Amino acid sequence: MKRITLVLAGLGLVLAAGSPALAQDKKSMPNMIDGTLYPKGYTPMPIKNGNYPRVYSPNTEQLGPDEMRVIALGTGMPNVTTGKQKASGWYVELGNGEKFLFDVGNGTMENLAKLRPDWHKVYRVFASHLHADHVGGFAELYIGGWMNGRYRPLEFYGPSGSEPRLGSKAFVENQVKTWAWDTEGRRTGFPIEGGKVIAHEFDFRNEGVIFEENGVKISSFPAIHVLDGSVSYRLDWKGRSFVFGGDTYPNKWFMKYAQNAELVVHECFFTPETLAELLGTPYPQAVFITSYIHTPPEAFGKIMSELKPRHAIGYHFWTWHDVLPASIEAVRKTYDGPLTLAHDMMVWNVTDEQVVVREIFADENVAPTSTSIAYRKAKREPPEVATKWISPDINAGKWEGYQPPPLPKKQ
């Protein structure tokens, strides 16, 4: 298996270490519980006797030692809409404290922010392919996650392409270059390491383990979608299993590696008729798009009937009232097992005893989950560095009617 590792730096701008704003009084102490940072005022409680609340309120429930929680951050399409479905993004939390993102499509970081996570722990992304609706939220995670508390490098796992410019290494390198003005302007205050990205590129033809740590094993296998360079993933941990398919035509690798899995997520695209009606796509093209590039509902059902997962999850279509019934009807022609056709902010809790499917109740307007003491103490560039960035003639244009306070001495 080929793997390419690339480290790229971009750096940050906020309060200097030693600022009075970082005084460690009781009000500024982070709410750290069992090594995880929670919003102030929140203490997660264990679920007793398997009785879950009807809705999930983020940061209120403690995962069991063998429990897995999966949250749909985005289930929709690449089209720009004002609807409530973002593009592809899936958030997996395990009872050992590990957290993983599978895809980070456009808009998905907005939904992740509603969960108010410990951003330092959200640093590993596994991309199915490099379409914008699967990786378009990269900058929000890279820069926003860094500003919100990440003081280690972001790690991006993704497939190679048919040539280097089409692979994950080139994607990450170009993303970092694209945001150079932003990151260069943040080189004081934010932790230096948090402004770096590590790209783990693996051969898209790989069939096997690409990540193994702390009892968690993640494997990749090929998918078939438009170009070479699409993959699917399987996560295994303590008897829990999660299979995530990005966009793909039904393929032999998925049928092989999704066997005996608990949660199986696979695209369940529109029917040709629905796509033609919704977007005015000529019918021959609608058939080609839905049935040769993607997986339509009846084919999704056939896949799940063959695999017999503990719970099947379909996504990658709009769950509008005039679309969803036709999709359900088409799936049920070929599959009669446990099923969710997902919309954003749904959650699945998986234990030995049950799979619980719920919706999330979260505030729309929330602040980030503070920052940890380790984040505040992490190495930064000194504030004086920023005084050298602006040209002397531009600096000379400062208005004399304002005098800033002196920079505090480093403590």
pLDDT tens per residue, range 190-210: 999 999 999 999 999 999 999
Distances (CA, A) of 64 to 34, 48, 50, 283: 13, 10, 10, 49
What is the β-pairing status of strands 355-360 and 240-245?
A: unpaired
With vertex at residue 373, the alpha carbon angle to CA 371 and CA 378, rounded to the nearest 5 degrees, is 95
Asked if 246 contacts 230 with a C-beta cutoff of 8 angstroms, the reply is yes
Amino acid occupying residue 250: P
Q: How far apart are CA 2 and CA 380, in angstroms?
A: 34
Q: What is the pLDDT of residues 90-104, one digit of tens each?
A: 999 999 999 999 999
Give the max Cα distance, the chain.
75
Q: Which CATH number fits domain 3-385: 3.10.20.600, 3.30.70.580, 3.60.15.10, 3.40.50.300?
A: 3.60.15.10
Amino acid type, 12 = G
Query: Residue 79's pLDDT band (boundaries 50, 70, 90)?
Result: confident
Q: What is the pLDDT of residues 41-56, one digit of tens each?
A: 999 999 999 999 999 9
Of residues 19 and 143, more confidently modeled: 143
Characterize the bridge pairing of strands 124-126 and 99-104.
parallel
Whether the predicted pLDDT of 152 surpasses 50: yes
Q: How confident is the model at residue 22 (pLDDT cuts 50, 70, 90)?
A: very low
Contact in structure between 198 and 152 (CB atoms under 8 Å): no
Between 300 and 383, name the one with better pLDDT: 300
Say what the pLDDT of residue 385 is.
Answer: 78
- Residues whose CB falls within 8 Å of the CB of residue 171, separated by 6 or more in sequence, listed in order: 130, 135, 158, 199
Q: What's the DSSP call for residue 163?
A: S
Give the three-state DSSP class for 333: coil
Task: State yes or no: pLDDT of 5 exceeds 90.
Answer: no
At residue 86, what are phi and psi to the nearest 5 degrees? Answer: -80, 180
Tens digits of per-residue pLDDT, 354-364? 999 999 999 88
Q: Are 66 and 238 spatial neighbours (Cβ–Cβ below 8 Å)?
A: yes
Q: Are 300 and 313 in contact (CB under 8 A)?
A: no
Q: Which residues of 187-210 are buried (b: 16+ CB within 10 A; e: fewer)?
A: bbbbbbbbbbbbbbbbbbbbeeeb
Residues 58, 46: Cα–Cα separation, whole Å: 13
Region 263-285: what's the mean pLDDT?
A: 94
101 close to 125: Cβ distance less than 8 angstroms: yes
pLDDT reported for residue 28: 72
Contact by Cβ (8 Å): 91, 124:
no
Task: Report the alpha-carbon distance of residue 39 to residue 121 in Å, rounded.
Answer: 14
The pLDDT tens digits of the residues spanning 384-397 come to 777 778 888 998 99
Q: Is the pLDDT of residue 70 over 80?
A: yes
Q: What pTM, to 2 d.p., does this model score? A: 0.92
The region of weakest confidence among 4-13, 69-78, 203-212, 252-261 is: 4-13
Alpha-carbon separation of residue 154 from 16, 126, 172, 309 (angstroms): 22, 11, 11, 32
Q: What is the pLDDT of residues 335-384, one digit of tens each?
A: 999 999 999 999 999 999 999 999 999 988 888 898 999 999 999 988 77
Q: Across residues 137-160, what is the average pLDDT?
A: 97
pLDDT at 185: 82
Task: Say what the pLDDT of residue 332 is.
Answer: 97
Among 137, 268, 161, residue whose Cα is nearest residue 222: 161
User: What pLDDT was estimated at residue 19?
Assistant: 45
- Residue 326 structure tokens: 């036709």
**Per-residue pLDDT at 63 exceeds 90:** yes
Give me the count of residues in the chain: 411
* Rounded CA separation 332/199 (Å): 40
Helical ranges in 248-361 per DSSP H:
252-257, 272-279, 283-288, 297-307, 324-332
